[in-house]
Chains A and B, each alone.
Chain A
């Protein structure tokens, strides 16, 4: 389908562009993909208003996650998530056995070191979609063998927010938590974004590697 490939190509060009930008900024070792994650966040945030228009009100968080796995995923990747797991304490693992951005690369471990680049956008997409539904989360991705990919969603509860948020001065974190309590979206707050790991290390996004960047205004 011609319209599908347009999205794929645009996506890979955005990543190339982000790589060039981070090279220009002198980031030799690490690749800064926070801008890609931000683009995903904005897109996910906006698409959610459209997708949930004909949908009844969600019962709870799990109901929302099921929506992400079925309708949201079908809308973007033309397939459903293959497996959803949760510990019922705010951690959800979404497994896609044939993740669309990775299917063209390999069926094993070749190019594995580049895989994190191609999941950053989707992490942002999930996070943005959930943010619009008033669920604040940190989304990380894990690629062990090529076409399959796992997305970990850590839902940030309001009471735990000040401790989870990166330390950028006490007054800032208090202000953010107040915003969360009254249900305001963190769109103008700090965007938490993923940096890809260096090729030699294990190919995981981890919570410790999350850094904060100022969003564009």
Chain B
């Protein structure tokens, strides 16, 4: 029983999730966990922004590859919205996802916690796809103007759930 509780405590898949707009301005940055590195807003922003360069680079190489002659296999791979692992530090791993509308979704997992260190690529992919669905719903809220920060508490709650549930 005790073991079960400990397990529940650590079942946090992501420690931080961010939605970045078309002009690289943060629309939403949310974080959870007992990790001191992700507890304050500033370090969260820093974590997410370190990944943006890698993300842009990945997108740029996508474009050059699709225009040039390339094998069919890599092309389909590069047209995927999910970009995979962008950047990893000693403590965190940062995954990226760019929608067709150039909205960047970034997910940070902690490699020090037991559940975060052995996370599978497919899990991150589904989590980011679900985040995309949540974002699309948040955009359709008539009180939200595109380009503004997402202040909806419903969205916040749903994203926190997504981070906790380990999908």
A contact residues vs B (CB 8 Å cutoff):
45-46, 48-50, 52-53, 55-59, 132-134, 179, 182-185, 187-188
Contacts and interface: CB of A to CB of B under 8 A. Distances in A.
B22 A185 contact: yes
A58 B103 CA distance: 14
Contacts of A53: 99, 132-133, 136
Given A52-B100, A134-B102, A183-B23, A57 B79 contact: yes
A55 B136 contact: no
Nearest to B100: A52
Interface in B90-124: 98-103
Contacts of B79: 56-57, 59
Interface residues of B, number: 26
A187 B24 CA distance: 16
Which of B78, B99, B135, B145: most chain A Cβ within 10 A? B99
Contacts of A188: 145, 147
B101 A133 contact: yes
Determine chain A's interface SS by DSSP, over half rule.
loop
Interface in B63-98: 66, 76, 78-81, 98
Contact of A58 (B22, B23, B100, B145): B100
Contact of A55 (B100, B103, B139): B100
Interface of B: 21-24, 62, 66, 76, 78-81, 98-103, 132-133, 135-136, 139-140, 145-147
Given A55-B100, A56-B79, A57-B62, 18 more contacts: A49-B99, A49-B101, A50-B136, A52-B100, A52-B101, A53-B99, A53-B136, A56-B80, A58-B100, A179-B23, A182-B23, A183-B22, A183-B23, A184-B147, A185-B22, A185-B146, A185-B147, A188-B145
5 interchain residue pairs of minimum CB distance: A52-B100, A56-B79, A184-B23, A57-B79, A49-B136
B102 A183 contact: yes
A52 B140 CA distance: 14
Nearest to B62: A57
A182 B103 CA distance: 13
Contacts, number: 62
B116 to A, nearest CB: 26
Contact of A45 (B80, B81, B146): B146
Contact of B101 (A59, A132, A184, A187): A132
A184 B100 CA distance: 14
Contacts of B98: 57
B146 A133 contact: no
Nearest to B132: A53
Contacts of B101: 48-49, 52, 132-134
Given A49-B99, A56-B81, A187 B23 contact: no
B80 A187 contact: no
A49 B135 contact: yes
B145 A187 contact: yes
A196 B98 CA distance: 38
Contacts of A184: 21-23, 147
Nearest to A179: B23
A48 B136 CA distance: 9
A46 B147 CA distance: 12
Nearest to A186: B147
